[in-house]
Amino acid sequence: MISLDANSSPTPEELPPEIDGLRMTKQRREVFSVVLAERDHPTANDVFSRSQKRMPTISLATVYNCLEALVSHGLVRQVNFEREPSRYCPNLSDHCHFQDQKTGTIHDVVFKEGVNLADFLELPQGTEVSHLEISLKGRIGSN
């Protein structure tokens, strides 16, 4: 399990050669470390420019490939707000997203202890939910 401590995220070199059956290539480690480094939900392009700092030869296509690999192996979450470019989130705990309309900043929002989908949704019986995305927008406090 990769640490999510606010002030110590792994450098690419610190990431193992394989995670969860996914071969961690040099580029995947770079991309993963960029996503882990900050909790600001960067877009693919953000990840690309940050990655380029340490790895100037990485391509945008590779960033997309790596993100896709990380997402499909459950190491990173893809976050969508309406029709905006996808963003990427290293927080694997159950949570959803709030976008401050003033700044565009995206905040993680956690579910209350012990709540369960069926507690607030009238789901047709027999539905098996495999994917859930909750996105909020609004203002914060005095902003």
Partner DNA sequence: TCTTCGAATTAGAATAATTCCAATTATTGC
Partner DNA sequence: GCAATAATTGGAATTATTCTAATTCGAAGA
Size of the site for Zn ion (CB under 5 A): 3
Shortest gap between Cβ of 83 and a second copy (angstroms)?
Answer: 7
Distance between CA atoms of 27 and 66, rounded to whole angstroms?
A: 7
Contacts of 132 (CB under 8 A, 6+ apart): 117
Residues that bind Mn ion (CB under 5 A): 133
Q: Which does 39 bind (CB under 5 to 8 A by kind): Mn ion, a second copy, DNA, none?
A: none
Distance between CA atoms of 25 and 139, rounded to whole angstroms?
A: 40
Q: For DNA, which is the closer residue by CB, 85 or 104?
A: 85
The reply on whether position 140 binds a second copy by CB under 8 A is: yes
Q: Which does 8 bind (CB under 5 to 8 A by kind): DNA, Zn ion, Mn ion, none?
A: none
The reply on whether position 133 binds a second copy by CB under 8 A is: yes
Shortest gap between Cβ of 91 and Zn ion (angstroms)?
Answer: 4
Tokens 């949704």 sit at which residue?
Answer: 121
Collapse the DSSP code of 85 into the 3-class scheme (helix H, G, I; strand E, B; otherwise coil) and give the result: coil
The reply on whether position 94 binds a second copy by CB under 8 A is: no
Distance between CA atoms of 31 and 63, rounded to whole angstroms?
A: 7
